[in-house]
Structure 1
Amino acid sequence: MGLIAAERAGINLYSEYSLHEQLKAYLAKPGDRLEALVEGKVIDLVRADGELVEVQTGHLGQLKPKVLGLAAKGYKVRVVYPVSAERELRRLDPLTGEILSVRKSPKRGDEYSFFDELVHAPEFIAAHNVIFETLFVKTAETKTRDGKGSWWRRGDSTIDKELLAVLSSRTLRTKAQWLALIPRGLPPPWTSSTLGAELGISTERAR
């Protein structure tokens, strides 16, 4: 392994919303290096034991070259991905910034939600030196109708996504742990239809 050097203070290349920074703060332990350089790559957290922790609140596919490249060089890499099991929606007045409404979102993520993103990085599954951790979280999403958002969002722009609580977590590292996600007793060959029926989810999600 190469030398690990702390990156210059004040540089944060990968943060999107508050959620990213808040998750790093939640995961950080005494002795961790924050925003450290490893093999020329900026890493969210470097553990005292050498484990690299990457928090990804967006597309997992964007993380694939970095994670697999470092894992191939012998680094143990933990990918942490949050799933919003509960979500609070806040709407602000675009002119005054006043909170106009707060409501709970009917959408609830579950233990299979991360596969919606993992399809873009299937190489993470049971990969050597790669640990995949899902954090099931309660979040707050703040929007405002400023006309700058996409048409299908009716002009709403997302201002921020915040962490309210970490509810639970699940860690997957071995082939056996990944296979345990498939219901026991489901005879192969598996299809989207049979898998969805067994899991109680739609065929589209099972696909």
Structure 2
Amino acid sequence: MARPPGDVTPPTPAQQERFFTVCQQVLADRKGGGGPTGGIGTLGERTLHAVLKCYLEPDETLHEVKIGRRVADIARENEIVEIQTRSFGRLREKLDRFLRERPVTVVYPIARIKWIYWLNEEDGSLTEKRRSPKTGAPWDAFYELYQLRPMLGSAGLRFQLLFLDMEEYRLLNGWSADRKRGCTRFERIPLSLRGELLLDSPGSWLSMVPPGLPEPYTSRDFAKVAVLSRPTAQKALSVLLQTGAVERVGKEKNSYLYRTRT
């Protein structure tokens, strides 16, 4: 049975508690540096990656397992798990190799609620946190999923979207007068688990169609409802076409018309 649009499964209290415990353990292991950030960011963006790896698989003997010439984040007897925080295009060669061995789950974290800090590299000062006005949604994954579009129908490949509250540290090193535009994202620290969405079957991709669309609809309609740029909405519809969640049903002037499959 197909899932309703945006069907994010909330975590159980036990899952929330375990995720919080893992966050605290990983941060305790990584802190120790001086300055206001207490060592945050010394390993790039790996804190988020490390938390997800420990949460998804407590058995550390299954972490960083070599398969052929590649290293898998998690390798169980019947599954490989790859945690990718961005740049899905880099996964293509890995996935091609891993899918010959066993099913692969690609885990992608999305910030549901995000608190932003700005770090001044010159004096080490840190601003008060500010909540981002944006709330994360499933359609935020489309930009990355588009990079794997030719592989989306591959047998054994599935995606797990994890929705998190997190803190994001940014460097004041951008090109604008306030040094914020074009800045470097320094580190992301997960705080709590808010839910997950598993894309593991043709019907599950219907969850990636935002509610409230007219029938039929254009990429402009999709962009407005999902709060995406027009180019990203066009990529989203290419992904949904590839997975069979939508179909083209005609044209209106220079725009294709789409309908969600039922």
Taking structure 2 as the reference length, the TM-score comes to: 0.62
CA deviation after TM superposition for structure 1 residue 65, in Å? 1.7
- In the TM superposition, 1:165-180 aligns within 5 A as 165-180=192-207
1:11 paired residue number: none
Structure with more contact order per residue of length (Cα contacts < 8 Å, sep ≥ 6):
2
> Secondary structure, in 3 states, of the residue corresponding to 1:120?
helix
- Asked if 1:55 is matched to 2:83, the reply is yes
Are the aligned partners of 1:34 and 1:46 in contact in 2 as well (CA < 8 Å)?
A: yes
Letter in 1 for 2:97: G
> Secondary structure, in 3 states, of the residue corresponding to 1:78?
strand
Are the aligned partners of 1:52 and 1:77 in contact in 2 as well (CA < 8 Å)?
A: yes
- Asked if 1:29 is matched to 2:58, the reply is yes
- Asked if 1:108 is matched to 2:132, the reply is no
- Asked if 1:40 is matched to 2:34, the reply is no
Are the aligned partners of 1:125 and 1:178 in contact in 2 as well (CA < 8 Å)?
A: no
CA deviation after TM superposition for structure 1 residue 15, in Å? 7.3
Q: Could you tell me which of 116, 138, 142 is aligned with 1:89?
A: 116
Q: Could you tell me which of 198, 201, 220 is aligned with 1:193?
A: 220
Are the aligned partners of 1:83 and 1:134 in contact in 2 as well (CA < 8 Å)?
A: yes
CA deviation after TM superposition for structure 1 residue 157, in Å? 3.4
Letter in 1 for 2:233: A
Q: What is the distance in 1 between the residues matched to 2:122 and 2:180?
A: 19
Letter in 2 for 1:30: D
> Secondary structure, in 3 states, of the residue corresponding to 2:134?
coil
- Asked if 1:79 is matched to 2:97, the reply is no
Are the aligned partners of 1:193 and 1:206 in contact in 2 as well (CA < 8 Å)?
A: yes
Letter in 2 for 1:42: V
Are the aligned partners of 1:92 and 1:101 in contact in 2 as well (CA < 8 Å)?
A: no
Structure richer in helix, relative to its length: 2
CA deviation after TM superposition for structure 1 residue 52, in Å? 0.4
Q: What is the distance in 1 between the residues matched to 2:198 and 2:61?
A: 20
Change beyond 3 A, Cα 1:86–1:74: same
Structure richer in strand, relative to its length: 1
Q: What is the distance in 2 between the residues matched to 1:100 and 1:19?
A: 21
- Asked if 1:181 is matched to 2:199, the reply is no
> Secondary structure, in 3 states, of the residue corresponding to 2:208?
coil
Are the aligned partners of 1:126 and 1:173 in contact in 2 as well (CA < 8 Å)?
A: no
> Secondary structure, in 3 states, of the residue corresponding to 2:190?
strand
CA deviation after TM superposition for structure 1 residue 180, in Å? 4.6
- Asked if 1:164 is matched to 2:191, the reply is yes
Change beyond 3 A, Cα 1:150–1:79: farther
Change beyond 3 A, Cα 1:191–1:65: farther
Kindly report structure 1 stretches of 4+ aligned residues shifted beyond 6 Å.
183-186
Are the aligned partners of 2:79 and 2:104 in contact in 1 as well (CA < 8 Å)?
A: yes
Q: Number of aligned residue pairs: give it.
A: 188
> Secondary structure, in 3 states, of the residue corresponding to 2:137?
coil
CA deviation after TM superposition for structure 1 residue 78, in Å? 0.5
Q: What is the distance in 1 between the residues matched to 2:133 and 2:92?
A: 31
Q: What is the distance in 2 between the residues matched to 1:164 and 1:101?
A: 17
2:97 paired residue number: 69
1:125 paired residue number: 152
> Secondary structure, in 3 states, of the residue corresponding to 2:184?
strand
Gaps of 5+ in 1: 1-13
Are the aligned partners of 2:119 and 2:127 in contact in 1 as well (CA < 8 Å)?
A: yes
Identity over aligned residues, as a percent? Answer: 27
